[in-house]
Amino acid sequence: MANERFLVKGGARLSGQVRVSGAKNSVLKLMGAALLAEGTTVLTNCPAIDDVPLMQKVLEGLGCTVEREGDVVRITTPAELSPRADFEAVRQFRASVCVLGPLTARCKKAIVALPGGDAIGSRPLDMHQSGLEQLGARTYINHGCVVAEAEHLTGAHIKLDFPSVGATENILTAAVLADGRTVLDNAAREPEIVDLCDMLVAMGARISGAGSNTITVDGVAELRPTRHEVVGDRIVAGTWAYAAAMTGGDVTVGGISPSHLHLALEKLKNAGAQVETYAAGFRVRMEGRASAVNYQTLPFPGFPTDLQPMAIALASVSEGVSVLTENVFESRFRFVDEMIRLGTDATVDGHHVMIRGKRRLSSAPVWSSDIRAGAGLVLAGLCTEPGDVTEVHDVFHIDRGYPDFVETLTSLGADIERVQ
């Protein structure tokens, strides 16, 4: 609920074990991909986050039947879909634009309200539109909606200006039903892209090169529904890893391939943490205070922009001076203003921020501007003076991306309470 807040007590040391569920940045796109095949697609390992029922509303508005039970989501897609994703369903979260590619491929037309979501900077749809146009669609913005129309989609050689995850996903989900071969250069390489390609292949698509800069798609006439397990959430896993380091803790995280967080874990090693990796998890231990480390966010396999708030929070209590450069979203440093309220010694210069670490932060009321900023503020609240209470407001953002956030932190030894 929008008026809920968290009360976070300082002085905690986190220790224990957690298991992450499926990735927010994957499950919503997989739900959208279910539009490509008539019949019932089943997704397992789905996270209990608020964005999943929001995506359910989008799909139901298009004519699908969606059932959720535990971590299983069943999506039954009819032979005839509505091509219109309305404003009321779409406005609340950015990932809803992922229905643009599937609707263009299945319905020959898509009308998708321009989406809302996090306040981390503008994310225009130029590359989405350009990619669909190169496949033969006509696209335009009309009355607050992006419209794509295509009597016929034909494979093309497409090069992205930037390895955009969203554009890569929409182009892939349109190209799988296009005639001929599509080659996508400078494609996004994120594990969530590989997860989407794995599901599409299971549906009958012909895709090679997932996880590399160049993805090749040979179009097929139709796809079939499938059953697919959602890949583990590397951002949630990384959040718990940085929480362990910030609090001098010892946390083991399961349900995730450590290769999906290679650079983030290397940065923790550089900061002085002991990191052990396993086939499907890792352990992070920090004795004493972390050392300052520099970061720059980049598309995968670079340091994830979604872990930037956690890196800033860790730098705030590290020994020495850290410089963090944000290369992905221009407004992500709004988070720094809230960290300064907690006592962080930070100087912002364009897309760089310099942080002089302190041993402890100080409590204050702070406001979440997006999912990851909210999580970073909670972790910072754990690093205030013992007994100090930090109020984190607008926590509905956190609920959009973190299942059982309060319960997980409590199980690791944090003193955190959700209140009206």
User: Mind telling me the catalytic residues?
Assistant: 118
Query: Taking the CB of residue 34, how many other CB atoms lie within 10 A of it?
Result: 27
For 366, the token pair is: 């702070």
185 is in an annotated binding site: no
In whole angstroms, what is the distance from residue 393 CA to residue 256 CA? 29
In whole angstroms, what is the distance from residue 410 CA to residue 243 CA? 13
In whole angstroms, what is the distance from residue 303 CA to residue 246 CA? 18
Q: How long a stretch of residues is the chain? A: 420
For 170, the token pair is: 């929409």
Amino acid at 3: N
Phi, psi for 414 (deg, rounded to 5): -80, 155
In whole angstroms, what is the distance from residue 346 CA to residue 314 CA? 12
Measuring CA to CA, how many Å separate 38 from each of 35, 64, 409?
7, 10, 41
24 is in an annotated binding site: yes
Return the bridge partners of 116, or none: none
Give the full edge-to-edge strand order of the sheet including 15-19.
15-19, 250-254, 281-285, 274-278
Q: What is the DSSP letter of 351?
A: T
253 is in an annotated binding site: no
Which burial class, exposed, middle or buried, applies to 229 when counting CB atoms under 10 A from its CB (0-12, 13-18, 19+)? middle
In whole angstroms, what is the distance from residue 88 CA to residue 55 CA? 12
Q: How many angstroms from the chain centroid is the CA of residue 283?
A: 22
328 is in an annotated binding site: yes
Q: Are 167 and 127 in contact (CB under 8 A)?
A: yes
Name the one residue in this structure whose structure tokens are 């900061």: 271
25 is in an annotated binding site: yes
In whole angstroms, what is the distance from residue 66 CA to residue 333 CA? 37
In whole angstroms, what is the distance from residue 76 CA to residue 68 CA? 12
Please give the annotated binding residues, written as ranges: 24-25, 94, 306, 328
Please give the annotated binding residues for UDP-N-acetyl-alpha-D-glucosamine, written as ranges: 94, 306, 328
